[in-house]
């Protein structure tokens, strides 16, 4: 029998890391297209990358919070997920301006 809850919680953190990797790859491609003099650090500091990477890290943190066997690990991952959610929200808000 398949443990669907286990598949779900593990799929969350894998999806989160995939989003972070895709955001990193897109930021690197975008900086090469926009301006070859633009450094990777500047591209990674852009609000678009911060919003996407923050969302990916929220998924990663939630997936690990659901997989944690101890209450304090779950609490630590949940706090980290909230901090990443705040970072992603703040970056998204600056994009909208």
Q: Name the one residue in this structure whose structure tokens are 């790859």.
A: 25
Question: In whole angstroms, what is the distance from residue 37 CA to residue 55 CA?
Answer: 28
Share of the chain above pLDDT 90, in %: 77
Domain range for 15 is 4-96
> Rounded CA gap, 68 and 44, in Å?
30
Cβ burial of 26 (10 Å; 0-12, 13-18, 19+) is middle
Answer whether residue 36 shows pLDDT above 80.
no
Q: What percent of the chain has pLDDT over 70?
A: 100
Question: Does pLDDT of 35 surpass 90?
Answer: no
CA–CA separation, 97 and 93 (whole Å): 7
The count of domains in the chain is 1
Write down the pLDDT at residue 20: 97
Mean pLDDT of the chain: 93
DSSP 13-69: HHHHHHHHHHHHHHHHHHHHHH-TTS-HHHHHTSHHHHHHHHHHHHHHHHHHHHH-S
């Amino acid at each position: 029998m398949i443990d669907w809850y286990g598949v779900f919680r593990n799929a969350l953190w894998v999806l989160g890391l995939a989003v972070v990797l895709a955001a990193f790859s897109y930021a690197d491609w975008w900086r090469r297209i926009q301006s070859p003099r633009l450094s990777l650090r500047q591209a990674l500091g852009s609000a678009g990358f911060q919003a996407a990477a923050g969302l990916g890290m929220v998924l990663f943190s939630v997936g690990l919070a659901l997989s944690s066997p101890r209450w304090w690990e779950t609490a630590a991952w949940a706090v980290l997920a909230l901090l990443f959610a705040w970072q992603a929200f703040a970056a998204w808000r600056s994009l909208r301006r």
